[in-house]
Amino acid sequence: MADKMKGLLESDRKRTQEAKAKALVAINQLVVSGKKVNFNSVYRYSGISKSFLYEDVDIRKRIEEQRACDVNNEMNKRAKYDKTSRSKDVIIETKDKRIAKLEEENRKLRIELEHLRGLLYE
């Protein structure tokens, strides 16, 4: 009976190690392919149950770390876009001010030109 129990425990340990290996391979493949890493994607890619992924401390930690990296990368992309957008807004505002200044100068020069023409033809 004790031998049977040892065999069962050994079999369980072996299946757990195989499941961990599959999950780690799935995580690495997802990272390499640039896909998002989360419990659902690892479950779909590896075929390992979600409950195993959540319960295994090492796998859970790895998925959560990678998910945090994905979120940080996404935030950096958004920040870069926002910065670019703000820069464009500043440039447009500066150009609008410059255009208004030139239009005012143009208007004053036209008035001065009319006045000088008037003096010339008197």
List, for residues 53-81, the tens digit of each pLDDT value.
999 889 999 888 888 877 777 776 776 66
Burial class for 56, CB neighbours closer than 10 Å (0-12, 13-18, 19+) = middle
Query: Could you give the CA distance from residue 2 to residue 68 in angstroms, rounded to a whole number?
Result: 45
List, for residues 92-104, the tens digit of each pLDDT value.
888 999 999 999 9
- Give me 39's structure tokens: 């419990």
Specify the pTM: 0.56
Q: Which of 11-15, 46-50, 109-113 has the highest mean pLDDT?
A: 109-113
